[in-house]
Amino acid sequence: MQHQYVIQNEKESAREELSIIRSQLESLIISDIYLVNSLPVIIASNPEVTQQQWKRIAANIIQRSSHIEAILLAPDDVVRNVYPTEGNQHFIGDLDRTEDINRPRHRPHSLKQALNPDPIRLSNGNLGLIATVPIYVDPPFNHRYWGACSVIIDLDGLLNEAGVFQLANEYDVAILAIESTDVQDSLIYGLQQTFENAFTTEFVHFPHGNWLLAAATEHGFLSNANWYQLNSPRLIGYSALFMVSIAFFAVYRLYHKARTLSLHDELTGLPNRRYFMFTLKHQFSIAKRSLSKERFALLNIDLDKFKEINDSYGHDAGDKVLKTVGIRIQEAIRASDVVARVGGDEFLVLLPRIMEQKNTQVIVASILNNLCNEPIEYDSKQIRLQASIGCAIYDQEMNSVEDILRAADAQMYQEKSHKKP
């Protein structure tokens, strides 16, 4: 019985560590990707950026990032500027060739953006990740394509800070890029057989890409346990009831911590409030420090009469409505925008790279069109939606994220008050 207790306890500990690593990876990469979102704003306002301006901007981004090693600027998909230059001259040239060497790749403007989940082999032999963002000079309409910017992210440093290497000292750990374009290149770290023997896995969610983490042990859990771990229950004389209590506490602690660390809404799969507030605070901080008067907008979306939907059709119908609303909002916004369900029927949308009020009006109109034009089918019935959207644009006089949250909330209630009861 004590052997089973040790095995169970060790499994729970490993699962908890892998959950923490998943959360760390998401936070670290998302943080670096959103730093890059300031570049399209600068280029859109000044397409003829000079070498001196480029170096200053790129140096500032790298200094604030955690793992960005280099930044590439590619007007018309031809890399003409690289920072730092030393050791990165080989990136100069066609962007497709830069993104990989052996793998066919779509042009960035044929995509919405973003992180390529497959690692690339850099000239120094290390592995890196490439995040590419298309640049348009007419946001948010995005009809006039200028080119793209890409960043090289240090994969080894990323895995080390997230705790992957430390966990690999105790277990077999592997990372797989799923929904990738090349099966051979999809294995990022570890061995393929780890997934076959895995006792726990975690999905890592990035913008337009996902990883699968797995942990396994080759020789069994008891091989990792020392003599005292195996015999401590017998030596100390724990009762069976006390061991069950300890095991139950460990399971509860794991559940509570995993839930706390979760970054996504369980029902819709969208980012939750914790995820969104992390991103919003980061964007607010960037805007506060920005020399280019960078602006962003916040949308507060509230479904009108959602309680009546639950009362009339049931909570299963309400759940379907919320899932559909999440999908329709995502379809209406840009890839660089972030939508989250923050509670009940309330959704928040972060819109980086917003220059003027009219830019947000286009996006708001697109969201309302997606939400309200087509009814939702449920149990042979049609459910029609109405929504109120409040919009607030960042202003330098705002002192905290609470200011812009309050402004968007007030605007949403003002919109709701104009409608008939």
The model's pLDDT over 100-150, given as tens digits with 9 standing for 90+, comes to 433 334 444 544 556 666 677 766 677 888 888 888 887 767 778 888 888
Q: Does the structure show a pLDDT above 50 at 167?
A: yes
Give the pLDDT band (50/70/90) at residue 6.
Answer: low
Confidence category of residue 339, pLDDT binned at 50, 70, 90: very high
Looking at every residue in the chain, the average pLDDT score rounds to 78
CA dihedral 186, 191, 195, 201 (to 10 degrees): -80
Alpha-carbon radius of gyration of the chain: 24
Could you say which DSSP state residue 375 is in? P
Report yes or no: 347 and 306 within 8 Å, Cβ to Cβ.
no
Contacts of 347 (CB under 8 A, 6+ apart): 270, 300, 301, 302, 325, 326, 329, 339, 340, 341
Q: For residue 211, give both structure tokens.
A: 């990883």
| 361-390 mean pLDDT | 92
Residue 303 has pLDDT above 60, yes or no: yes
- The verdict on pTM exceeding 0.85 is no
SS3 breakdown of the chain: % helix, strand, coil, rounded to 5?
50, 25, 30
Average pLDDT over residues 212-226: 65
Q: CA 130 to CA 120: how far, in whole Å?
A: 8
Alpha-carbon distance of 117 to 182, in angstroms, equals 11
Confirm if 50 and 80 have CB atoms less than 8 A apart: no
At 109, which amino acid appears?
Answer: H
What pLDDT, on the 0 to 100 scale, is given for residue 104?
34
DSSP state of 110: G
DSSP strands (E only) in 219-317: 296-303
pLDDT (0 to 100) of residue 352: 87
> What pLDDT score was predicted for residue 301?
95
Whether pLDDT at 292 is above 70? no
pLDDT tier at 297, thresholds 50, 70, 90: very high
Q: What is the separation of C-alpha 310 from the centre of its chain, rounded to a whole number of angstroms?
A: 31
Which three-class secondary structure state does DSSP give residue 350? strand
Confidence (pLDDT) at 329: 94
Distance (Å, whole) CA 194 – CA 184: 16
Phi and psi based region of residue 314 (left: phi greater than 0; alpha: psi -120 to 50; beta: remaining): left
Per-residue pLDDT averaged across 17-37, rounded?
Answer: 83
Confidence of residue 236 (pLDDT cuts 50, 70, 90): low
Q: What residue type is assigned to position 56 of the chain?
A: R
Q: What is the pLDDT of residue 140?
A: 66
Q: How confident is the model at residue 223 (pLDDT cuts 50, 70, 90)?
A: very low
pLDDT band at residue 45 under the 50/70/90 scheme: confident
Going across the sheet that includes 296-303, the strands are 338-343, 346-352, 296-303, 387-393
Instruction: Render pLDDT for 171-189 as a digit per residue (tens, 0 to 9).
Output: 899 998 876 444 444 788 8
- The one-character DSSP state at 67 is S
Does 376 or 225 have the greater pLDDT score?
376
Report d(CA 140, CA 358) in Å as an integer.
Answer: 9
310-321: buried (b, 16+ CB within 10 Å) or exposed (e) per residue? Answer: beebeeebbebb
Q: Identify the pLDDT of residue 200.
A: 87
Of 388, 392, 348, 339, the residue nearest 368 (C-alpha): 388
* % of the chain surpassing 90 pLDDT: 20
Residues contacting residue 289 through CB under 8 Å, at least 6 positions apart: none
Residue type, 214: A
In the chain, the domains with their CATH numbers are: 1-260 (3.30.450.20), 273-417 (3.30.70.270)
Sign, CA torsion 266/323/300/356? positive
Q: What is the pLDDT of residue 101?
A: 37
Question: Cis (ω within 30 of 0) for the bond into 421?
Answer: no
Q: What 3-state class would DSSP assign to 13?
A: helix
Q: How far is CA 402 from CA 105, 207, 280, 406, in A?
A: 41, 25, 10, 6
Q: Is the pLDDT of residue 255 over 70?
A: no
Residue 408 has pLDDT above 70, yes or no: yes
16's CB contacts (< 8 A; 6+ apart) are 253, 254, 257, 258
User: Which of 24-38, 59-73, 169-183, 255-269 comes out lowest in average pLDDT?
Assistant: 255-269
pLDDT band at 391 (very low <50, low <70, confident <90, very high): very high
To which residue do tokens 């195996």 refer?
230
Lowest mean pLDDT among 3-7, 19-23, 72-76, 126-130: 3-7
Cis peptide before 140 (omega within 30 of 0): yes
CA–CA gap between residue 221 and residue 219 (Å, rounded): 7
